[in-house]
Structures are given as C-alpha cells and as structure tokens.
Amino acid sequence: MDAPVDAVERFTIQSESDIALVRRRVREVAQELGFDAFATAAITTAASELARNVWTHAHGGDSAIARVLDGRRKGVRLEFRDRGPGIPDLPRVLAGGYSTARSLGLGLSGSKRLVDEFHIESTPGRGTLVEVTKWARY
C-alpha cells in the first residue's frame, strides 16, 4: 500500500447525492487511466457501495480519490472515512453474512471482492476507515 500517490481529490459525503458524485468521478478517473469496462464497473460499484455505507451507517464522512503509480502499473485508490458507530464484528461483516442496517455486510464484502487491495480499520464508537485499490490491467 505504499505506491506513490498522484493527484488526490477529496469529497465530503453529506447527502445521498454525494454518493453519485463520488461514483461519477471514480468512473472518470478509471477511464482516464485506461481501465477496461469490467475494471471500471468494478471500482465504480465498489465506490458506490462504500460511499453508501458512509452515508447509511454514519450519516456522512469523507472520501478521497487518488491515482497511484507503481512502476508501470496505474491504479485508483479510494479512501472512505467516517466517525460513525464503527463495526463491532468485522470478520462476520466481511464474510457477508451480517447486516445491521440492510446492506452493510453486502457492501463491504462485495466491494472487497471487486478490488485488488482492501484495508479496513474500525473502532466501535469512533468510526471506520476503508481503503481500496484497483489496478488497470494490460
């Protein structure tokens, strides 16, 4: 997770329409980096799931979209950070069989399967940080 990071764009998620805003920008960046339709759909969908989790479970938070370069590889790295209730049983949530407010488990386990790198930190009562990376394929 220590590949050089290029241009970072930050977004605040404070309404439902911000989910669409983040998703649209992720799609644009992925296409600019030469992602094919499958990889673009994967990272855009992951962004949508994670942004929706921030909105649904924490009623808002912050996100960042970064272009990452690792040797000849180009990728998109996304960060979602909130100060919501956190996730008490992370392993179970990541296994996809758990859902407090409908889609938390599906959103996290699903987006984990769509990206190349997935990192999550969650402290009950403090909040959650999710960082994902998807690389372009050549």
Partner 1 sequence: MKRDSIPILRVGDTLLITVHTELHDTVAEAFQEDVLGAIERSGAAGLIIDISGLDMVDSYVARVLADTGRMARLMGTRSVLVGMRPEVAATLVRMGYPMEGVETALGVDDGLALLATARVR
> Which residues lie closer than 8 Å to 63 by C-beta, 6 or more apart?
10, 11, 12, 13, 22, 50, 51, 54, 78, 79, 80, 81
Q: Does 54 bind partner 1 (CB under 8 A)?
A: no
Q: Does 17 bind partner 1 (CB under 8 A)?
A: yes
Q: Does 42 bind partner 1 (CB under 8 A)?
A: yes
The letter for the amino acid at 77 is R
Instruction: Tell me the window of 59-67, 85-93, 110-118, 122-130 that interacts with partner 1 (CB under 8 A).
Output: 110-118
CA distance 74 to 33: 7
Q: Which residues bind partner 1 (CB under 8 A)?
A: 16-17, 19-20, 23, 27, 37-38, 40-42, 44-45, 48-49, 52, 96, 103, 106-107, 109-111, 113-114
